[in-house]
Amino acid sequence: MEVLGEKLEGIEAMSVKIETPLTEDVIRGLRIGEEVSLSGIIYTARDMAHKRLVDMINRGEKLPFELEGAVIYYVGPAPARPGMVIGSAGPTTSYRMDPFTPTLLSLGLKGTIGKGPRSGEVIDSMVKNCALYFGATGGAAALIARSIVDAKIIAFEDLGTEALRELRVRDMPLIVINDCYGNDLYVEGRNKYREL
């Protein structure tokens, strides 16, 4: 692969291909640090959308999408140019959605995608409910947008960029940050290279 006039080793070479809906078999086979290529349907939601979803759950209302096996991507995309499916779409920081995540995991959510570490409660919940947390690279928003082949708003349109969207992705480049065994790549990675 050539990037900016220099030959670099291929990014796609080592990725494990996985699809949604995520099954427990696939989840148990993945470990922290593994690079994956995700394909299928994922849903986007940020702070306000999460609050609304949990409020709906508490009121016993049906959600706009099926949680079982689902993957949520924390993103507020840039607007699409005419003829494009979506604008640049890198991850937002996940900790803001931590308060709502264990509830969704307990109801079948199997994967979340974002950046930055999750709380202890969320990590425990991922172990208990057999789910994963993937990292999308913050700052690689145009690259990630290339893997999104379809996008439509399915709820909370009034939230604009923060609306709940259904995305179809093909070979979305992700890294496993938390596996279902309680390991955390942020902790292990830093410990390995820390000198202070």
Partner 1 sequence: MKLREIDVREIRDAVKRLSIEANTSVTPELREKLKESLREEESPTGKAVLRQLLENLEIAEREKLPICQDTGFAVVFVEIGNRVVFTGGLLGDAINQGVRDGYREGYLRKSIVKDPITNPVNTGDNTPAIIHTEIVEGERVKITLLPKGGGAENMSRIAMLKPTDGVEGIKEFVIETVDKAGANACPPLVIGVGIGGTFDYVAFLAKRAILRKIGERNPDPRIARYEREWLEEVNKLGIGPAGLGGKTTALDLFIEVFPRHIATFPVAVNIQCNAARVKSCVI
Chain contacts with partner 1 (rule: CB under 8 A): 1, 3-4, 6, 8-9, 11, 33, 35, 47-48, 75-81, 87-90, 92-93, 95, 115-117, 135, 137-143, 145-146, 158-162, 173, 175, 177, 185-186, 188-196
Residue number, 67 or 126, with CB nearest to partner 1: 126
Q: Is 188 a catalytic residue?
A: no
Residue 25 buriedness (CB in 10 A; 0-12 / 13-18 / 19+) = exposed
CB of 20 to partner 1, least distance (A): 21
For 193, the enclosing helix (H) or strand (E) is helix 185-193
Residue number, 85 or 130, with CB nearest to partner 1: 85
Closest CA relative to residue 15, chosen from 191, 147, 168: 147
Residue number, 84 or 154, with CB nearest to partner 1: 84
Exposure string for 6-18, b = 16+ CB within 10 A, e = fewer? eeeeeeeeebeeb
Phi, psi of 61 (to 5 degrees): -85, 155
* Cβ neighbours of 181 (radius 10 Å): 12
Is residue 157 within 8 A of residue 164, CB to CB? The reply is: no
Residue number, 134 or 180, with CB nearest to partner 1: 134
What token pair was written down for 192? 């390995």
- From 46, 50, 115, 118, the catalytic residue: 50
Instruction: Give the type of residue at 93.
Output: T
| Catalytic (active-site) positions | 50
